[in-house]
A and B are shown apart, each in its own frame.
Chain A
Amino acid sequence: MTEITRDLISDVEQFYFREARMLDNREFQQWLRLVTTDVEYRVPVRYIPQPDPKKKETEAFLGVEQELSQGLEPDFRKENFFILSLRAMRAFKLNSWTDNPPARTRRFISNVEVLPTDQEGCYEAYSNTMIYYSRHQKDNHTFTAQRKDLLRLEKGELKIAKREVIIDWNIITGPSLSIFY
């Protein structure tokens, strides 16, 4: 088990801030270098289930997990490196009508927690993200989500090997969930 040092926590925070800056500056091609080629990127659906009377009086009664899509249920997104690259590259085409003109975004990353895993050079990390998203003249939205990452050291560089994005909406009231979280 890898030890979690203050240095490591600081490295992870800096990594996230750099990532956010890249995405806000629309450097999506560079961003692709921050993820591993076997990356798993998932944004589950968050629906409202009927409360389970068997779980009442326990914390499981309110468990977030039961609100999320699982197994064969479609997520909002479940993507590999290929699909992420398709998204990243498309933005730079003249006829990519959702990115042209591009949205103005500002990401705020907080609540960073780094946890050990039993794999060498792999860490689990939680963080919250708040994304201010502005399209066209005044189509403005704020997304919030929890991110649960698996970070892996590759040649001394941190990379995202897995990311799960837990959105805080039931009905999505923004125009699209196509962005990178």
Chain B
Amino acid sequence: MPMDLPLSQLVSDDGSHVHRKIFTDPALYELEKQHIFSKTWIYMGHESQIPKVGDFITSFIAETPVIVSRAGDKEIYVTINSCSHRGVPVCRADQGNTRRFICPYHNWTFNNKGDLVSIPQERKVCNKPEKAELGLKRVPRVETYRGLIYACMDENVEPLTDYLGGMAWYLDCFFDRFDGGIEVIGSPHKWTINCNWKLPVENHLGDIGHGPYLHGSILQGTPQVQELEDTGLNVVPKPGHGLSVRLMPEGTPDEMCMFGMDGVAGMDPEVNQYLRESHKKVTERLGEVRSRLKPLCYSVFPNLSFLWPNMTLRTSHPRGPGQIEYWSWFVIEKNAPEHIKEKLKIHYTMMFGPGGLLEGEDAEAWSQQFSGSNIDYADDRTYYYGLGLGEEESHPEIPGKVGSCFNEHYAREFYLQWRQRLEQGIQETSKLEIK
């Protein structure tokens, strides 16, 4: 261990105490990259971003840059953006369409599967390099769920649907809600926040309780806050994943159950009309229970989040223990009318993204959490994650373990999952070393 403490002292057995060093320690961060980011499914982007052959976007697995492209066989390939010759990144754009990635240094050229197709210097030497062995390194596993593209560095990882487990039922609420599916529009907003990568994820797992406080200048006294306290639930469909929902009681009128689009956008008559129309098909597609479900925020282990009311997907890409590159996308029903897309897009950027009113407050809290954690002399004071401890239970209507909207079991399960994966990874490597 990098630190004198075993992992069991970093996260207590019931998850209710978490050591501040898990947010700041550089050696633990190296272990996270080795045993978490290279072993779990990592979100890359959405299929609607690369519909055509040759389309590509870039992404990251932890700090490693990758290219996600749609090749001639219509399949999606994820390759590490580092030339096989000397490591220069071969793709320098955020997104686009191309048949070839040409490395700037000596112009080795790769196709969108990452295969090396030409070496300009090849004709000038006698021993011919084996091009088939010199392609870009391919990320071995790529799978999609409802258009969400995932990749994993571990060839033997479980199938994506097993990995998501009960989370899929909740993801479907949005990603399978509409006949024509959903789409991601535009390139992501990207900005750096000086915080640990786990904090934004923890926030979206179910920290809905901070709303009226941190965001008090905007949310205090709004009907949404009352509704949240009355009907809000924190759900852990599978340890590590989590979400917050409002489950409206049976018999609640439709207009109270619509979509879960809150605040200013829902007050706009045109948006309201759209939400009414779109709600009509929900029961048919998702069943009666999910027609009363109004999700708020989701996180999927380790670093994908989704914020329902403002329709944004986000990933927390680590940049060392104390910084992230936060990426945030706008998602919407593909067949929504243009004027609705325009209005909801503004509803997203007004509140979220680097210029968003609420996001600014979250980012402030997350970076201050890092400052407050990165100190000495307080190691005996672990953070308290015990709100609602033991009060979560299974629910008659929705899957997973369910607690009240202030129950922090989502975070306890997340950090226990984190601890378990590190313990397992460390154990496996030490076995290898002994061999």
Contacts and interface: CB of A to CB of B under 8 A. Distances in A.
Interface in B174-229: 185-187, 189-194, 213-214, 216-218, 220
Interface stretch (B269-277, B346-354, B391-399): B346-354
Interface string B37-80: 00000000000000000001000000000000000000000000
B309 to A, nearest CB: 16
Interface in B349-380: 349-350, 353-357, 359-361, 363-365, 367
Contact of B186 (A72, A171, A172): A72
Contacts of B367: 175
A21 interface: no
A45 B365 CA distance: 24
Given A45-B189, A75-B349, A96-B217, A178 B357 contact: yes
A90 B94 contact: no
Interface stretch (B139-147, B156-164, B295-303, B337-345): B337-345
A150 B304 CA distance: 40
Of B94, B192, B355, most A-chain CB atoms within 10 Å: B355
Interface string A114-149: 000000000000000000000000010000000000
A98 B92 contact: no
Contact of A98 (B98, B190, B192, B360): B360
A170 B338 CA distance: 27
A177 B226 CA distance: 30
B330 interface: yes
B191 A173 contact: yes
A74 B349 contact: yes
B96 interface: yes
B325 interface: yes
A43 interface: yes
A74 to B, nearest CB: 4
A90 B190 contact: no
A17 to B, nearest CB: 25
B82 interface: no
Nearest to A135: B364
B189 A76 contact: yes
B95 interface: yes
A178 B360 contact: yes
Given A96-B217, A175-B364, A73 B185 contact: yes
Contact of A97 (B214, B338, B356): B214
Contacts of A29: none
Contacts of B97: 50
A122 to B, nearest CB: 25
A69 interface: yes
Interface in A155-181: 170-178
B95 A95 contact: no
A49 interface: yes
B93 interface: yes
Given A47-B95, A77-B349, A79-B350, A171 B355 contact: no
A140 B97 CA distance: 37
A137 B218 CA distance: 26
Contacts of B56: 50
Contacts of B359: 176
Contact of B185 (A43, A51, A72, A86): A72
A176 B185 contact: no
B320 to A, nearest CB: 14
Contact of A74 (B94, B189, B191, B193): B189
A175 B367 CA distance: 9
Contacts of A47: 94-95, 187
Given A45-B186, A172-B192, A76 B355 contact: yes
A178 B360 CA distance: 7
Contact of B350 (A51, A83, A176): A83
Contacts of B94: 47-49, 170
B274 to A, nearest CB: 15
Contact of B357 (A90, A174, A175): A90
B353 A76 contact: yes
A177 B98 contact: no
Contacts of B348: 74
B248 to A, nearest CB: 28
Nearest to B353: A76
26 contacts: A50-B93, A50-B97, A72-B185, A72-B338, A72-B341, A72-B342, A72-B345, A74-B186, A74-B349, A76-B354, A78-B346, A95-B213, A95-B216, A95-B220, A97-B217, A97-B364, A171-B191, A172-B189, A172-B192, A173-B191, A175-B193, A175-B363, A176-B360, A176-B363, A177-B354, A178-B357
Given A83-B350, A97-B217, 14 more contacts: A43-B355, A45-B187, A45-B189, A47-B187, A48-B94, A49-B94, A50-B96, A74-B353, A86-B357, A95-B213, A97-B214, A98-B360, A170-B94, A175-B367
What 3 pairs between A and B have smallest CB-CB spacing?
A50-B96, A73-B186, A172-B191
Interface of B: 56, 92-98, 185-187, 189-194, 213-214, 216-218, 220, 325, 330, 338, 341-342, 345-346, 348-350, 353-357, 359-361, 363-365, 367
